[in-house]
Amino acid sequence: MKIFPEQQSRHGWQKRPICNPEIKRWLIDTGSLTARLRARYADFTVQPVVLRYARPLRDEVSMLGLKRNEYALIREVLLIGSGQPVVFAHSVLPGNSLNGQWRGLGKLGNRPLGAALFANPRVKRTPLEYKKLSPCSPISMRVSEHAQIKGAALWARRSVFKLGCARILVTEVFLPHILAA
Q: Which CATH superfamily is domain 6-179 in?
A: Chorismate lyase-like (3.40.1410.10)
Taking only Cα atoms into account, the Rg of the chain, rounded to an integer number of angstroms, comes to 16
pLDDT at 165 over 80: yes
Q: Using pLDDT thresholds of 50, 70 and 90, give the confidence band for residue 3.
A: very low
pLDDT at 10 over 70: no
- Distance between CA atoms of residues 56 and 168, nearest Å: 12
- Distance between CA atoms of residues 133 and 131, nearest Å: 6
- Distance between CA atoms of residues 29 and 25, nearest Å: 6
The residue-averaged pLDDT of 132-158 equals 90
- In degrees and rounded to multiples of 5, residue 131 shows phi and psi of -160, 140
Is the separation of the CB atoms in 129 and 158 below 8 Å?
yes
Task: Tell me the pLDDT tens digit for each residue of 59-87.
Answer: 999 999 999 899 999 999 999 999 999 99
pLDDT at 112 over 70: yes
pLDDT at 4 over 50: no
Q: What is the pTM of this model?
A: 0.90
